[in-house]
């Protein structure tokens, strides 16, 4: 099915030195990512520091990216929260900007039971006639979207994909077996992309795609062509980068890496802060060793 393609990158949100959203830099970064092989971009996810963005900033950011690359890539808006009504309202506003789909996270903190999760996502799908990607990340939301619930949700026509960041390959395998023809399964962790592809996944919502979209694209293509020996070789080459992107809280490493490469993405909005001096020294050494800082001493 693959409504959204196979390589999606969860894009960071660039800021100016004054801490405002840098829309010009966002458009340029979106163009870079698409030119390097991304099928689509997820905008206003947690990698984009969405919890710190005002509603009007999110909408202008979506509008900017759609205007710059909407003809070349799928633009998916992160619109979910633990407030069903607000999720619906924001989703509807995003759709007015011609985004291609919505990503809606499992409601966090208040731990809704499975029937509540079903009703939450079903209500969004009913109110928003657009392709929807569910986002399961129990390590952050404290609630797992169980297979039985996902199978029920896959029966809703416009729920077409799930970003699986549970880290549970048995769960992903069960999902693929029971609703893989109706629900595209995306890895939510770069380091688990190839294993998830091997059990029936469709691709990845990547962070490392900011730096290595071309090689990730190649790995995905080899896996799709059942050339898992070559895909495994590429995955092993990429694995140190995948780990480096999470040496501290995302998106601190990836934004720092982009800055070190000369990309104007700015700093962070609190509560996120810069790496410590020791972390930065080690991180720079890793990136240089991996070939991502070729012009730096």
CA distance 192 to 76: 21
- Contact yes or no for 99/62 (Cβ under 8 A): yes
The dihedral sign for the CA sequence 277, 273, 291, 194:
positive
Name the active-site residue from 23, 58, 163, 255. Answer: 163
Q: What b-and-e string marks burial along 96-108, b requiring 16 or more CB atoms within 10 Å of the CB?
A: ebebbbbbbbbbb
135 is catalytic: yes
118 is an active site residue: no
Is 175 within 8 Å of 202 (Cβ atoms)?
no
Instruction: Select which of 23, 58, 118, 135 is catalytic.
Output: 135
Element (H, E) at 203: strand 203-206
For 75, half-sphere exposure in the C-beta direction (CA atoms, 13 angstrom radius) is 25
Of the candidates 142, 75, 79, the residue with the CA atom closest to the CA atom of residue 105:
79
- What number of helices (H) and strands (E) belong to the chain? 12, 8
Tell me the DSSP string of 122-184. Answer: HHHHHH--S-EEEEE-HHHHS----HHHHHHHHTSTTEEEEEE-S--HHHHHHHHHHHTTTSE
Residue 1, both tokens:
């099915």
Between CA 172 and CA 163 the distance in angstroms is 10
Q: Which residues are catalytic?
A: 135, 163
């Amino acid at each position: 099915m693959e409504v959204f393609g196979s390589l999606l990158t969860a894009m960071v949100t660039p800021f100016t030195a004054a801490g405002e959203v840098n829309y010009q830099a966002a458009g340029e970064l979106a163009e870079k990512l698409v030119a390097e092989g991304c099928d689509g971009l997820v905008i206003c996810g947690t990698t984009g520091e969405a919890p710190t963005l005002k509603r009007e900033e999110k909408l202008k950011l979506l509008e900017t990216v759609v205007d710059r690359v909407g003809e070349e890539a799928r633009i998916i808006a992160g619109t979910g929260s633990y407030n069903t009504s607000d999720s619906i309202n924001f989703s509807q506003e995003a759709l007015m900007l011609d985004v291609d789909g919505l990503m809606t996270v499992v409601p966090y903190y208040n731990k809704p039971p499975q029937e509540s999760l079903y009703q939450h996502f079903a209500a969004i799908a009913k109110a928003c006639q657009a392709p929807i990607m569910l986002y399961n990340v129990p390590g952050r939301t404290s609630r797992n979207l169980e297979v039985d619930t996902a199978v029920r949700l896959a029966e809703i026509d416009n729920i077409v994909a799930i970003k699986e960041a549970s880290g549970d390959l048995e769960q992903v395998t069960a999902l693929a077996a029971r609703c893989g023809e109706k629900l595209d399964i995306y890895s939510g962790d770069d380091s688990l992309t190839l294993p998830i592809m091997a059990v029936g996944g469709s691709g990845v919502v990547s962070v490392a795609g900011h730096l290595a979209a071309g090689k990730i694209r190649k790995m995905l293509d080899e896996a799709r062509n059942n050339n898992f020996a070559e895909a495994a070789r590429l995955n092993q080459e990429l694995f140190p980068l995948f780990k480096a992107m999470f040496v501290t809280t995302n998106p601190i490493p990836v934004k720092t890496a982009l800055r070190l490469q000369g990309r104007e993405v700015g700093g962070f909005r609190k509560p996120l802060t810069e790496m410590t001096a020791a972390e930065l020294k080690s991180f720079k050494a890793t990136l240089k060793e991996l070939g991502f800082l070729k012009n730096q001493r």
